[in-house]
A and B are shown apart, each in its own frame.
Chain A
Amino acid sequence: MNALEIEGISKKFGDFYAVKKLSFMILPGTIYGLLGPNGAGKTTTIRMVMNIIIPDEGSIKVLSRRMDEEMKERVGYLPEDRGLYPKMKVGELLMFLAEIKGLKGTDARKEIDFWLERFDLSDWKSKKVEELSRGMQQKLQFIVTVIHQPELIILDEPFSGLDPINTKLLKDIMLEMKKKGRTIVFSTHRMEQVEMICDNICLINKAERVLEGNLSQIKKQYGKNTVILDYDGEADFIKNFPEIEKIDDYGKFMEIKLKETFSPQDLLPKLVGKISINKYEVKEPTLNAIFIEKVGGKEVKDEEDTISH
Chain B
Amino acid sequence: MRKILSVIKREYIQIVRTKGFIIGTILGPVFMLALIVVPIIVSSASVEKQETIGVVDLTHEIFMELDKKLDHRDYRLKDGFRRYVLEKFEASAGTEELRHELRERVLKKELSAYIYIPEDVLEIGARESAVRDSEPEEVKAEYVSEHTTDFEKLRALNGALNNVVIEKRLKREGLDPQKVAQYIKRVELQPIKITKKGEEKDTAGTFMISYFLALIIYMAILIYGQVIMRGVIEEKSSRVVEVVLSSLRPFQLMMGKILGIGAVGLTQFSIWTLFGIGASAYSTSFIPAGADFAMPSIPAHVFVYFVVFFILGYFLFGTLFAAIGSMVNSEKEAQQLVMPVTMFLIIPIMLMIFIIRAPDSSLAVFLSFIPFFAPILMFLRITVLLPPFGQIGASIVILILTILLMVWLTAKIYRVGILMYGKRPKFAEIVRWIKYR
Interface residues of A (CB under 8 A from B): 47, 50, 52-54, 69, 72-73, 75, 77, 79, 81-88, 92, 96-97, 99-102, 141, 144
Cα–Cα distance between A69 and B249 once the two chains are bound (Å): 7
Residue in A83, A87, A88, A100 whose beta carbon sits within 8 Å of that of B247 in the complex:
A100
B6-14, B33-41, B370-378: which lies at the A interface?
A: B6-14
Apart from the given pairs A47-B419, A75-B246, 14 other A-B contacts in the complex at a CB distance below 8 Å? A52-B419, A69-B249, A73-B247, A77-B246, A79-B239, A79-B242, A83-B239, A83-B240, A84-B238, A85-B14, A97-B247, A99-B2, A102-B2, A141-B243
A52:B242 contact, CB within 8 angstroms: yes
List the A side residues contacting B238 at CB < 8 Å: 83-86
A69:B239 contact, CB within 8 angstroms: no
List the A side residues contacting B245 at CB < 8 Å: 50, 52
Say how far A296's CB is from chain B's closest CB, in angstroms. Answer: 29
B239:A82 contact, CB within 8 angstroms: yes
A54:B246 contact, CB within 8 angstroms: no
A54:B243 contact, CB within 8 angstroms: no
13 CB < 8 A contacts A-B: A52-B246, A54-B436, A77-B243, A79-B243, A83-B238, A84-B238, A84-B240, A88-B10, A96-B9, A96-B10, A100-B244, A101-B247, A144-B243
The chain A residue with its CB closest to the CB of B4 is A100
Residue in A81, A88, A96, A102 whose beta carbon sits within 8 Å of that of B242 in the complex:
A81
Cα–Cα distance between A149 and B303 once the two chains are bound (Å): 50
Contact with A along B247-262 (1 / 0, CB 8 A): 1110000000000000
List the A side residues contacting B240 at CB < 8 Å: 83-85
List the B side residues contacting A96 at CB < 8 Å: 6, 9-10
Say how far B4's CB is from chain A's closest CB, in angstroms. Answer: 9
Residue in A54, A69, A79, A86 whose beta carbon sits within 8 Å of that of B437 in the complex:
A54
Contact with A along B7-26 (1 / 0, CB 8 A): 10110011000000000000
Cα–Cα distance between A75 and B245 once the two chains are bound (Å): 12
Residue in A53, A72, A85, A92 whose beta carbon sits within 8 Å of that of B248 in the complex:
A72
List the A side residues contacting B7 at CB < 8 Å: 100
**Which 3 A-B residue pairings sit nearest by Cβ, starting from the closest?**
A83-B239, A77-B246, A83-B240
Q: B165: CB under 8 A from chain A?
A: no
Cα–Cα distance between A92 and B239 once the two chains are bound (Å): 18
B242:A100 contact, CB within 8 angstroms: no
B248:A79 contact, CB within 8 angstroms: no
Cα–Cα distance between A192 and B7 once the two chains are bound (Å): 40
* A97-B419 in contact given A83-B238, A85-B238 (Cβ < 8 Å): no
Q: How many residues of B contact A (CB 8 A)?
A: 24
A72:B246 contact, CB within 8 angstroms: yes
* A50-B10 in contact given A83-B240, A84-B238, A86-B238 (Cβ < 8 Å): no
Say how far A206's CB is from chain B's closest CB, in angstroms. Answer: 22
Interface residues of B (CB under 8 A from A): 2-3, 6-7, 9-10, 13-14, 235, 238-249, 419, 436-437
Cα–Cα distance between A81 and B245 once the two chains are bound (Å): 13
A99:B6 contact, CB within 8 angstroms: yes
Cα–Cα distance between A296 and B422 once the two chains are bound (Å): 30
List the B side residues contacting A100 at CB < 8 Å: 3, 6-7, 244, 247-248
A50:B243 contact, CB within 8 angstroms: no
Cα–Cα distance between A54 and B9 once the two chains are bound (Å): 30
A50:B239 contact, CB within 8 angstroms: no
Cα–Cα distance between A77 and B241 once the two chains are bound (Å): 12
List the B side residues contacting A81 at CB < 8 Å: 239, 242
A72:B247 contact, CB within 8 angstroms: yes
Cα–Cα distance between A299 and B376 once the two chains are bound (Å): 64
Cα–Cα distance between A131 and B317 once the two chains are bound (Å): 35
A79:B246 contact, CB within 8 angstroms: yes
List the B side residues contacting A53 at CB < 8 Å: 419
Say how far A55's CB is from chain B's closest CB, in angstroms. Answer: 11
Cα–Cα distance between A87 and B240 once the two chains are bound (Å): 12
Say how far A134's CB is from chain B's closest CB, in angstroms. Answer: 14
The chain B residue with its CB closest to the CB of A99 is B6
Cα–Cα distance between A82 and B241 once the two chains are bound (Å): 10
Cα–Cα distance between A141 and B243 once the two chains are bound (Å): 9
Say how far A48's CB is from chain B's closest CB, in angstroms. Answer: 12
The chain B residue with its CB closest to the CB of A130 is B238
List the B side residues contacting A50 at CB < 8 Å: 245-246
List the B side residues contacting A79 at CB < 8 Å: 239, 242-243, 246
Cα–Cα distance between A112 and B177 once the two chains are bound (Å): 91
Say how far A283's CB is from chain B's closest CB, in angstroms. Answer: 40
Cα–Cα distance between A135 and B135 once the two chains are bound (Å): 85
Cα–Cα distance between A102 and B10 once the two chains are bound (Å): 15
Among A53, A75, A77, A85, the one with the most B-chain Cβ atoms within 10 Å of its Cβ is A85
List the B side residues contacting A83 at CB < 8 Å: 238-243
Cα–Cα distance between A72 and B247 once the two chains are bound (Å): 6
The chain B residue with its CB closest to the CB of A73 is B247
The chain B residue with its CB closest to the CB of A76 is B246
The chain A residue with its CB closest to the CB of B419 is A52
List the A side residues contacting B13 at CB < 8 Å: 92
List the B side residues contacting A73 at CB < 8 Å: 247
Cα–Cα distance between A84 and B237 once the two chains are bound (Å): 10
Cα–Cα distance between A13 and B5 once the two chains are bound (Å): 35
B243:A84 contact, CB within 8 angstroms: yes
Cα–Cα distance between A88 and B9 once the two chains are bound (Å): 13
Cα–Cα distance between A43 and B436 once the two chains are bound (Å): 20
List the B side residues contacting A52 at CB < 8 Å: 242, 245-246, 419
Cα–Cα distance between A144 and B245 once the two chains are bound (Å): 13
List the A side residues contacting B244 at CB < 8 Å: 97, 100
List the A side residues contacting B247 at CB < 8 Å: 72-73, 97, 100-101
Cα–Cα distance between A54 and B246 once the two chains are bound (Å): 14
Say how far A63's CB is from chain B's closest CB, in angstroms. Answer: 15
Residue in B3, B14, B242, B419 whose beta carbon sits within 8 Å of that of A87 in the complex:
B14
List the A side residues contacting B243 at CB < 8 Å: 77, 79, 83-84, 97, 141, 144
Cα–Cα distance between A81 and B10 once the two chains are bound (Å): 22
List the A side residues contacting B419 at CB < 8 Å: 47, 52-53
Say how far A234's CB is from chain B's closest CB, in angstroms. Answer: 50
List the B side residues contacting A101 at CB < 8 Å: 247
